[in-house]
Amino acid sequence: MTQPATASLSDFSPLPVSRRFGAGWIELALAVGGFGVCSGEFASMGILPNVATGLQVSEPQAGHMISAYALGVVVGAPLIAVISARMARRTLLLWLMAFFALGNVASALAPTYASLILFRFLAGVPHGAFFGVSFLVAASMAEPSRRGQAVGRVMLGITLATLVGSPLATLLGQLLGWRLTFAAVGGIGALTALLIVIFLPLDRASPGASPLRELGALRRKQVWLTLGIPAIGLGGMFSVYSYVASTLTQVSGFTAAFVPVALVLFGIGMNVGNMVGSWLSDRALMPTIGGMLVWNAGVMALYWLTAANPWAVSLCIFLIGCNFAICPAIQMRLMDVAGDAQTLAAALNHSAFNIANALGAWLGGVAIAAGFGWASTGWVGALLAIGGLAVFAVSWSQDRADGRVLQPAAESAAAA
């Protein structure tokens, strides 16, 4: 069996400033980047009417910019991971953030609808690769028993974007114009590039790195199984989230003014889930993944059962946000099964999450259109979680059949 491998601390040649500030500042720089990336992604949904009015197109047409961004993520993540195989991670992160900043500034200046679609696609291209490489860098600097917590600290950028960044960016766009939203996100990207220059130490590309070696991840059955877990199992979270506003107003009896409060509850749940999940993944990785899928199925079913009760459904929205606890564990699992194709596997994780987003929203819409009601997104989510649990069971049983227990990637690298 080829043991997994990631960069170790010996792969870095720290700058003096890096010795002075330490790994915490590197994690902060990467988290700021994640905050900017996800704030822009989520805020695009909130400023949709403003974009439609500004460019004189319909809202469904304006919505194509969201699809274009998602397509950029799906295409860009594996493409960049492969072509940048021989590039040092610090250099790659710097270029990715610079490209992201330029894509958003170009979006803010887009003169036409067609140009906006193109620029949103380009802005999405570095998304998956940035997160994948960020998590690898964070894990490589941590002790093997604390990799999950290091990744979780970088993921705080994502969860805080949901809680704070996206609402503020949306408000900015509504009050001062949608172009300023994209410009502000581009500014965060530029700030992140500066922080990378200041805090990240110089490093070297992994010896023997090549595009063919990265593509080797696609030959690993466990990589595909691990990617399948969130692609299916987390679709329900997006199914509920996509239609939560209509569920709350049409079923729960809330006014439209409560919807932002519900989204805050969801964001708080994501932050709690990230902290707990990163801690659990360092202690029991596979049980954390399996346990969170069971949790996911349960709270989704509870959402369907309690949708008509304002207090109960509010609690359920918080609990659904807590499903984010599985994310650090999935990222760790990918590092353990990817072997020497770490960058591609880590980047593909974000393609899997975008598949979950599309799958969940589509199936939720199918259930609603079939007449099952707004709350039916809950049982759609429960079924998807069970599907993810089935993929997880195949993955774990394959490990047992092979008679092995995977070492954490950072631990095997240190032993090599």
Domains and CATH numbers, the chain: 12-208 (1.20.1250.20), 210-403 (1.20.1250.20)
Chain centre distance of CA 282: 19
In this prediction, residue 188 carries a pLDDT of 94
Q: Is the pLDDT of residue 190 over 90?
A: yes
Residue 114: what pLDDT?
93
Average pLDDT score over residue span 288-294: 94
**pLDDT > 60? residue 377:** yes
**What pLDDT is attached to residue 65?**
85
pLDDT of residue 184: 93
pLDDT score recorded for residue 331: 84
What pLDDT score does 167 carry?
A: 80
Please provide the DSSP assignment of 181-218 as one string. Answer: HHHHHHHHHHHHHHHHHHHSPEE-PPTT--HHHHHGGG
pLDDT-derived band at 96 (thresholds 50, 70, 90) equals: very high
Task: Say yes or no to pLDDT of 386 above 90.
Answer: yes
Give 14-67 pLDDT, tens digit per residue: 333 344 457 788 889 999 999 999 888 878 877 877 888 888 888 767 778 887
Q: How far is CA 62 from CA 115, 116, 131, in A?
A: 12, 9, 26
Mean pLDDT of 229-237: 89
Give the three-state DSSP class for 13.
strand
Q: Tokens 């227990």 — which residue?
A: 405
Predicted pLDDT at 148: 81
Q: What is the pLDDT of residue 221?
A: 85
**What's the one-letter identity of residue 101?**
A
CA atoms within a 13 Å half-sphere pointing along the CA-CB vector of 194:
6
Residue 198 tokens, joined: 């200041």
pLDDT at 2: 34
Q: Look up residue 253 and give its DSSP letter.
A: -
CB 265: neighbour CB atoms within 10 A?
A: 19
- What is the per-residue pLDDT for 17? 37
Q: Average model confidence (pLDDT) for the chain?
A: 82
How far apart, in whole angstroms, are the C-alpha atoms of residue 11 and residue 45? 40
Measured from the Cβ of residue 366, the count of other Cβ atoms closer than 10 Å reads: 13
| Residue 414 CA from chain centroid, whole number | 28
